[in-house]
Amino acid sequence: MGGKVRIGVIGAGIGSAHSKALKQVKDAELSAICDIDEARAKVAATNWQIPKVYKDYKEMIKKEKLDAVTVALPNHLHKEVTIKAFEMGCHVFCEKPMAMNAGEAEEMIAAGKKAKKILAIGFVQRFRSESLLLKKLITGGDMGNVYHSMVFALRRRGVPGWGTWFTTKSKSGGGGLIDIGVHIIDLTMWEMGFPKPVSVTGSEYMMFGHKKDYNYISMWGSKNEKGIYDVDDYATAFVRFENGATMTLEVSWAANVEKDCFYSVILGDKGGARLDIDEPLKIYTEHYGKIADIVPKYIKEDNWFNQFSNFIDSVKNNKTPVTPGEHGLQVQKVIDAIYLSSKTKKEVKIT
């Protein structure tokens, strides 16, 4: 398509970060933002110089003649709003997790195909400098045969929005696993070449995040003392992939651990890597007959800018985005299987 991509943001929570990034993307024209909480949308509009504010996203799409939207809404609204936006002629960037479950994700992909529009998922961790570099190293063969990964996304006391949609299973689809686990599972599967998951054994726990006297040090959003908490605060799993590779996983919103961490260790027969959100990328390998640690130096890029640059480029040039809906679906299948395996206490096959 010629000209700038006219885009609107739906939801002014993390949608504010979408707006900030989109303002910097040359081929994007951020036309409007929408939230049922108009005051919240107005704050974002003022902060990021967005010309129009709406309360109804359908009205926004129609009146602003949008080419694309970003969906930054509670998880239970991702499917409905994405499909409606496709039907109204928009390309869609949808936040993670893609949906409440794999069935919903499949419906979203089918709707995008029917409308011949692009669907990208908000796996923003892929766009960090460290992630992009490791992807190049693995693709280039520097790590050899990648056969296993260990992934960790642990918070000591970091339940978001206690008592809001975040902790209500019917609105979120789950707890820490679907909220932060989704990022580290996706990132690591992508680094590993996105092998097809075939089976999962897992367990989820609700140990203390739900207790009324839950003590914490940080919280994304605010607490609703009267709200529901019926989701996991810990999950662990073992995943097998079709190519023989495996992954172990530890994810928590709240666990009695020393400190928060978010990283994966990826093992190949030529080299291993530690990809950590708080530290530089580290490669463990051999060099001219010596065991060597490599810590590359680089200028850190803005992953949010990179993410939306890729989405806008995909829309403008009709290219598959780095984070297509099909990847969101595979990640969702792993998450669904962990919850099911926990319930049945059996290994779950993924088709």
User: Site residues (CB under 6 A) for ligand NAD?
Assistant: 10-14, 34-37, 40, 57, 72-75, 77, 95-96, 122, 124, 179, 221
Which is nearer to ligand NAD, 14 or 154 (by Cβ)? 14
Which is nearer to ligand NAD, 96 or 169 (by Cβ)? 96
- Cβ of residue 35: shortest distance to ligand NAD, in angstroms? 4
Q: What is the dihedral of CA 218, 181, 276, 23, to 10 degrees?
A: -80
Q: Count H helices, E strands: the chain?
A: 11, 15
Which is nearer to ligand NAD, 271 or 328 (by Cβ)? 328
Question: Which residue number is nearest to ligand NAD in terms of Cβ?
Answer: 13
Strand 261-268's sheet: what is its strand order?
Answer: 290-294, 282-287, 271-276, 261-268, 146-154, 246-252, 234-241, 197-205, 348-349
- Cβ of residue 46: shortest distance to ligand NAD, in angstroms? 15
Which is nearer to ligand NAD, 285 or 306 (by Cβ)? 306
Q: Rounded to whole angstroms, how far apart are CA atoms 342 and 45?
A: 43
Annotate 322-335 with DSSP letters as a single string.
Answer: SSBHHHHHHHHHHH
- Cβ of residue 55: shortest distance to ligand NAD, in angstroms? 7
Q: Rounded to whole angstroms, how far apart are CA atoms 102 and 200?
A: 15
Which is nearer to ligand NAD, 79 or 96 (by Cβ)? 96
Which class for 4: exposed (0-12), middle (13-18), buried (19 or more C-beta within 10 A)? middle
- Cβ of residue 42: shortest distance to ligand NAD, in angstroms? 12
The first and second tokens of residue 292, run together, are 């060597």
- Cβ of residue 1: shortest distance to ligand NAD, in angstroms? 26
